[in-house]
């Protein structure tokens, strides 16, 4: 939950922040007012301030319903996760699903917390619960795909990303890249090229940092198909966009070696 600086949403968030600050400073604070102001801080990536407000909001637990308490814990837990405090994040995520067990996003965030701690088995359980509650909670499919990637399960990655793309969600370069890597692991080279081509389209490509990864993955597909000139061009483009693309440098070396072997033959 964040907004881009200098965007309309950012300035709207600032206005809301001032409004809730006025309420709190006027002595009319409630658990909800701290929740809403904390949300504004979180949107603006002022995470420590958000944590403080969520903590203050929880001091009003006696006058709050379980749903609101769960949202406070869930929101604070995500701030803890983003500030690399996994134990606090896990404790809050557990409280979030305890108070609000039918909130799919709380289960998704619990799964993300387990994933960040390397507890992939519990992460998958939490993601499965989220999907059982609301299979339309789109990005849980991507979060679970990341866990499958950590476990080296490319078939499941492809399944989850494909499911996500079938839902009403923007087909971003990062999704195509994730699925392309899984296809590469399985030797589905034509599928890799198709996904990378789609990901490199202007309407899906958001940042050059995504482009370098797509060029690199497609380069390996071309290499394994024996299309050395195409592979070399992609590896070169990858390095042009990211000088630290070590796998692309390795690819260039292997392409030149293969070209040398071909010319020697």
Tens of each residue's pLDDT in the chain, 265 residues: 554 555 557 668 788 888 888 888 898 889 999 999 999 999 989 999 999 999 999 999 999 999 999 999 999 999 999 999 999 999 999 999 999 999 999 999 999 999 999 999 999 999 999 999 999 988 999 999 999 999 999 999 999 999 999 997 778 899 999 999 999 999 999 999 999 999 999 887 765 557 999 999 999 999 999 999 999 999 999 999 888 888 899 999 999 999 987 665 4
C-alpha Rg value of the chain to the nearest Å: 23
| N-terminal to C-terminal alpha carbon distance within the chain | 57
Helices (H), 101-139: 104-116, 120-133
Question: pTM for this one?
Answer: 0.86
181-265 and 1-101 share a CATH fold:
yes
Contacts of 185 (CB under 8 A, 6+ apart): 152, 154
In order of 26, 111, 142, 147, 217, the CA distances from 176 in angstroms are 50, 22, 11, 17, 11
**CATH of region 181-265:** 1.25.40.10
Domain boundaries, the chain: 1-101, 181-265
Helix axis angle for 31-43 and 8-25, nearest 10°, is 150
- How many Cβ atoms from other residues are within 10 Å of residue 8's Cβ? 9
| CB half-sphere exposure, 197, CA atoms < 13 A | 8
Domain 1-101 bears CATH identifier 1.25.40.10: yes
């Amino acid at each position: 939950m964040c907004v881009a600086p200098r965007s309309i949403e950012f300035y709207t968030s600032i206005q809301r922040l001032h409004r809730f600050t006025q309420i709190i400073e006027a002595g009319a604070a409630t658990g909800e007012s701290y929740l809403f102001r904390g949300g504004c801080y979180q949107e603006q990536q002022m995470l420590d301030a958000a944590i403080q407000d969520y903590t203050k909001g929880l001091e009003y637990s006696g006058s709050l319903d379980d749903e609101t308490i769960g949202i406070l814990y869930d929101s604070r837990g995500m701030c803890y996760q983003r500030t690399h405090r996994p134990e606090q994040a896990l404790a809050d995520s557990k409280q979030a699903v305890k108070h609000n067990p039918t909130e799919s996003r709380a289960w998704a965030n619990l799964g993300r917390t387990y994933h960040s701690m390397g507890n992939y088995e519990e992460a998958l359980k939490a993601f499965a619960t989220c999907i059982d509650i609301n299979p339309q909670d789109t990005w849980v499919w991507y979060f679970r795909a990341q866990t499958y990637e950590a476990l080296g399960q490319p078939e499941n990655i492809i399944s989850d990303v494909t499911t996500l793309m079938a839902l009403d969600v923007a087909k971003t370069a990062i999704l195509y890249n994730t699925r392309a890597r899984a296809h590469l692991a399985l030797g589905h080279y034509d599928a890799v090229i198709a996904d990378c081509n789609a990901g490199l389209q202007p309407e899906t490509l958001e940042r050059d940092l995504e482009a370098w990864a797509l060029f690199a993955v497609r380069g390996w597909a071309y290499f394994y198909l024996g299309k050395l000139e195409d592979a070399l061009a992609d590896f070169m483009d990858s390095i042009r966009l990211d000088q630290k693309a070590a796998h692309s440098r390795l690819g260039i070396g292997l392409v030149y070696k293969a070209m040398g072997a071909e010319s020697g033959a």
